[in-house]
Amino acid sequence: MSDQLAPGGDESAPAFNVETVPAPASDAKNPRDLANFLTDYRNKRDAKEDAPAAPAEAAAEPEPIKDAAPAEEATSEETTTEAEPAAEPTIEPPRSWTKEEKAEFATYPRSAQEVIARREQDRESALRKGQNEHAEKLKGLTAKEQQVEQARQQYEAALPQLLQTLQEQQQGEFSDIKTMNDVEKLAREDWPRYALWDAQQKKIAAVSQEMQASQQRQQEEFKSKWSEFSAKEDAKFLELAPEMADKEKATKVADSSVALLKDLGFGESDLAKLWNGEASVSLRDHRVQLLIRDAARYRDAIKEAPKKIVAKPVAKVQRPGTSQSRAGDDDVAVKNLENKLTQSGSWKDAAHLLMAKRSAR
């Protein structure tokens, strides 16, 4: 506690704070004890003034609010509100776009990217659907085309027999009609029979025309297939025999081959037709059998050639001034005759060898 007093008892003068000090303990009897007591009091007072004052709000706990949400729920809501939103996935540009267009696509707003990606996906789906439908149609058309082709081949194969049947039928029914005079007489005297004969003639002519058309179509189809076949086989031949790419070597081999085939009995016309696919030849043909035999012999000779190569004996080198012994000459002669007999197998060489061995003894 402190009282406010004016100096000199003047109430108009400024007031001073007068601090009230508690009474000292009863054991403080002399002035020194009172001075110590006063010093301790001031130190404690200064320490209390320097300490920070606790806020009023912390002193009193807040009263709980009625109908308030649980603390855990409030914390959860605060966490959800404060959490950062998840990053949206990147939209890929259309695969069919170029590198520059894809780079430009990255600069578009996300709303524009979504529209473009959706439209591109719809377009690809429609395209795949159309391709699948087209493939199914092609499968159906292919099956139908095969059926039509098979029916056409059967019909064309039956045309010669049909034509022959019609001709035999006409010869049986109209055997008396042989010349134009007979036809004119038939037209004047028997009109119904003439109409039947004329219908038969037209039918034969129609079948003949269809058969000629089918033959022409078959020839054109054969030429197309033969051209494809010959190109494919020539490419295979050059792959297996690359030396034939040289025109000079190819010409030389071709001339030799033609001469060989002519020696076996093939003529110029035969070779031309066979080369152009206009004729065929069987392996049972005697000329083909001879050709195969010669080729087999040539291949066997090539395989056996390394086995027949025998090193020639080399005579011993003598120093100048020395004479060669008789025994050395006989040995060389015997060795040469043995090699010769091995290669020839002749009885004459065997006799010579025997005589040489006897003389060497």
Tokens encoding 114: 């979504």
Question: In 3-state terms, what secondary structure has residue 19?
Answer: strand
Q: Which residue has the tokens 């012994």?
A: 325
Average pLDDT over residues 170-180: 88
Count of CB atoms situated within 10 Å of the CB of 93: 20
SS3 content of the chain, % helix, strand, coil (to 5): 70, 0, 25
Q: Are 150 and 184 in contact (CB under 8 A)?
A: no
Average pLDDT over residues 36-48: 73
Top pLDDT among 130 and 344 is at 130
Average pLDDT over residues 2-11: 47
Question: In 3-state terms, what secondary structure has residue 314?
Answer: coil
Given a cut of 90, whether residue 52 has pLDDT beyond it is no
**Banded model confidence at residue 19, pLDDT cuts 50, 70, 90:** low
What's residue 313's pLDDT? 58
With a threshold of 0.85, does the pTM exceed it?
no
User: Under 8 Å CB-to-CB from 38, ≥6 apart: which residues?
Assistant: 21
Average pLDDT over residues 241-249: 89
Question: Which of 29-43, 205-219, 300-314 has the highest average model confidence (pLDDT)?
Answer: 205-219
Question: In 3-state terms, what secondary structure has residue 244?
Answer: helix
- Sign of the CA dihedral running 5, 10, 11, 13: negative
Given a cut of 70, whether residue 191 has pLDDT beyond it is yes
What's residue 197's pLDDT? 92
Indicate the length of the chain as a whole number.
361
* Domain map (residue ranges) of the chain: 2-47, 92-155, 241-308, 326-360
Q: Are 176 and 182 in contact (CB under 8 A)?
A: yes
